Amino acid sequence: MKSDFPSGIVRDVGHRPWPLPQRPWVMTQSWHDLLFVHWPIATSVLRPLVPPELELDAFDGIGWLAVVPFHMTNVAPRVVPALPWISAFEELNVRTYVTCQNKPGVYFFSLDAANFLAVAAARAMFNLPYYRATMAFRAEGGWLSYESRRRGDASGAHFKGRYRPIGPVFHPSPGTLQHFVTERYCLYTVDRARRVRRLEIHHPPWPLQPAEASIEVNTMPDANGITGPTTPPLLHFAKRQDVITWLPEICD
């Protein structure tokens, strides 16, 4: 399986809020046909669901919850070639926004993926709440159709919908809501010893587009203890984003 990962992104750093880690990066990923589905959620709702060791990050006093479906290629350790059936698969995550040591990042409530090996590896290496799911993605009639249903789990985690971009590409400006919910260069977990771990990532600025979506089923928030939002979501599409990652480190 031939990789088309643009390794030169490591030199594109002018947009970053802090320097790249001095340690070697360890993995590549390319995210395709990604939809950001965001809802405003009161911080009082989110606070009990996020480890107390992490500070919630809010925009104008309001927290945000996202459901993010996409599919991936080029998922491979550094200097290891991408492999069929291992390096390309669908993923859907549910996330909110947190900070530690003034570095804003992402906190994942759950990540569902179609690849069993990827689920097992991500749980072991990165201490992330990955789940195996039956997933399907296809393009039809100008729309992108996506469905994910978690396997072997009583939570009822299920997403089904279709979406498409409806406007030109733009790069969100610092200080805007669009920038707040997308331009994040790390994620956080808390290990069994209650230590905060930061996993640094790097990518070019997000090439966002306005989007529209028809969501038929979405029990992903409920499966994570959040009553399904009822307000219309904020929608953004990205055709592709290329990412490198580092191993987690303790956030002292």
Per-residue model confidence as pLDDT tens digits over 160-190: 999 999 999 999 999 999 999 999 999 999 9
C-alpha distances out from residue 143 to 134, 205, 210, 214, Å: 20, 25, 14, 10
Whether the CA torsion 106, 217, 34, 245 is positive or negative: it is positive
Which domains are delineated in the chain?
24-250 (2.40.400.10)
Rounded Cα distance, 105 and 93, in Å: 15
103's tokens: 């570095």
The answer to whether 64 and 41 are in contact (CB under 8 A) is yes
What share of the chain in percent tops pLDDT 70?
A: 97
C-alpha distances out from residue 77 to 2, 27, 123, 132, 201, Å: 14, 4, 15, 21, 14
pLDDT band at 212 (very low <50, low <70, confident <90, very high): very high
Per-residue model confidence as pLDDT tens digits over 129-153: 999 999 999 999 999 999 999 998 8
What average pLDDT does this structure show over 26-32? 95
For the entire predicted model, the pTM comes to 0.95
Residue 85 neighbours by CB under 8 Å, 6+ apart: 115
